[in-house]
Structure 1
Amino acid sequence: IQDIFVTTHTYLDNLKERIHPNDHLSSRTAFAASTLLLLNKENITRRYIDRYLSQENLSASRIIDVTSMDLLIEFAKIDLGIACVIKNFVRDELAEGRLVQLKMPVSIPARKIGFAYAKSGAIPPTVRKLLSFLQELEVQKAIQDRSNR
């Protein structure tokens, strides 16, 4: 999983006008003066991002906590601030230019997610379907990795 910070060109343009109308706006300066949109503090992703922000000495002037990734994305698209989201969730918005990725001095380290289940017991159909889906994704990624070489 790759977490990134996204916003709109409009939000960045307005931020630049407020802070440095005649100068280049660095990502660190933009970040410090922005409204940061994050998942709520109980969320494991939020804890991971909070550690990253602390390690990089990054802080925002305002933080809005929300309960879902979908809300983060929608709030970013309506110019409410800079949202921390999973890159795959905003792939289309980035490709279409509705959102732009904020280049950070140090990228957020990628994360991996794992699943554990008991092979010996009965596996519910929904879990079987999820496992099948994940295995298919793994095969597709392997094929894509080989074709990118």
Structure 2
Amino acid sequence: MSVKLDLYKVFSIVGKNESFSKAAKELYMTQPAVSQAISQLERELDTRLFNRTPRGVTLTDAGRILFEYVNSAISLIDGAEEKLLEFKNLTAGELKIGVGDTISRYYLLPFLESFHGKYPNIRFRIINGTTKELCAILKTGQVDIAICNFPIEDSALTLRPCIEIEDIFVCGEKYKTLLKRPLTFEQLKKLPLIFLEETANSRVYVEEYILSQGIQITPEFELGSYDLLLEFARINLGIACVIREFSADYLDRGIVHEIKLEQPIPKRSIGVCHLKNVPLSPAATRFVGLMGKGD
């Protein structure tokens, strides 16, 4: 088919010029080579495509039918190549990102703003979900990349850590007496704890670590919004498990206070995931690079 496509291109140029010699000049070929190409196509199709005259050539009835289709096909191919070039140059296209609400608000937004400023013609499609959900839709091709809470154990994914984060516990004014000395996990479990819902990867990480130290905790409140964690702590409903980096405003303004632990929760990461054996699109590659720079 690739050989025949070249013959069709020659056929199209000859049809437009109604001349082998003019077509040869446009194609940077010799006239005998053009004539030979047309003869080969006629043999393969078992159809005469041109009437040869001393003044040039004209399309036969069969040639005119083929000419219309070939021209349309070549135009579509040329258009596709132009679109591909736009895609490579990031002057067109779409970037599909999977991300949780919390990471989107507290971490991702500056990167979206920066990328859009550099490549305004790239459209964003943002799909929200938990880390588990995002890893699943990543494998179905619904998103190009996912920004998730680590750790993740999945051999099908490439994981690129971007920022280190730390899980801490915070309280409002009512519980400030707890700030006098670091708490043990045994002391912590007796307090009214506020966590995200049980499917949240960050909650699973904290609970599993505390359990590895021999302590099982049971939250009094389970919330679906990160903002509510901070607000519930602020109005003294309990001790909230939050991410230090995402709570800086509340901590700096003294709205909530960090409760020190004798054994701090080990730091973890937020990062980018993508399928290991599937090349990233140009837009996704550039976006991941931007996140890696942290600017």
Matched AA of 1:120: P
Q: RCO higher in 1 or 2 (8 Å CA, sep ≥ 6)? A: 1
* 8 Å Cα contact 1:34/1:60 also seen in 2: no
Compute the displacement of 1:106 (Å).
0.5
SS of the residue 1:34 aligns to? coil
State the alpha-carbon separation in 2 of the partners of residues 116 and 108 from structure 1: 24
State the alpha-carbon separation in 2 of the partners of residues 121 and 77 from structure 1: 43
Change in 2 beyond 3 A, CA 1:32/1:110: same
Aligned residue number for residue 272 of structure 2: 115
Aligned residue number for residue 95 of structure 1: 252
Aligned residue number for residue 167 of structure 2: 3
Aligned residue number for residue 34 of structure 1: 191
State the alpha-carbon separation in 1 of the partners of residues 187 and 196 from structure 2: 20
SS of the residue 1:112 aligns to? strand
RMSD of Structure 2 on Structure 1 (CA): 3.0
Change in 2 beyond 3 A, CA 1:71/1:130: farther
TM-score by length of 2: 0.37
Deviations along 1:33-67, whole A, 9 cap, x unmatched?
Answer: 31100111111111111112212344557521111
State the alpha-carbon separation in 1 of the partners of residues 240 and 191 from structure 2: 10
State the alpha-carbon separation in 2 of the partners of residues 81 and 71 from structure 1: 12
Aligned residue number for residue 80 of structure 1: 237
Compute the displacement of 1:68 (Å).
2.0
* 8 Å Cα contact 1:12/1:30 also seen in 2: no
Compute the displacement of 1:93 (Å).
1.4
Matched AA of 1:110: K
Q: Comparing both structures, which one devotes a greater share of its residues to strand?
A: 2
Between the two proteins, the alignment pairs up a number of residues equal to: 128
Q: Which moved more, 1:109-118 or 1:52-61?
A: 52-61
| Structure 2, unaligned runs of 5 or more | 1-164
Please tell me whether Structure 1 or Structure 2 has the larger radius of gyration of its CA atoms.
Answer: 2
TM-score by length of 1: 0.69
Compute the displacement of 1:132 (Å).
5.4
Q: Percent identity?
A: 29
Deviations along 1:60-81, whole A, 9 cap, x unmatched?
Answer: 5752111121111111111111
Matched AA of 2:192: T
State the alpha-carbon separation in 2 of the partners of residues 62 and 120 from structure 1: 42
Q: How does 1:124-139 map to 2 (within 5 A)?
A: 127=284, 130-131=287-288, 133-137=290-294
Compute the displacement of 1:31 (Å).
1.9
Compute the displacement of 1:27 (Å).
1.9
Change in 2 beyond 3 A, CA 1:7/1:59: farther
Aligned residue number for residue 56 of structure 1: 213
* 8 Å Cα contact 2:195/2:241 also seen in 1: yes
* 8 Å Cα contact 1:35/1:60 also seen in 2: no
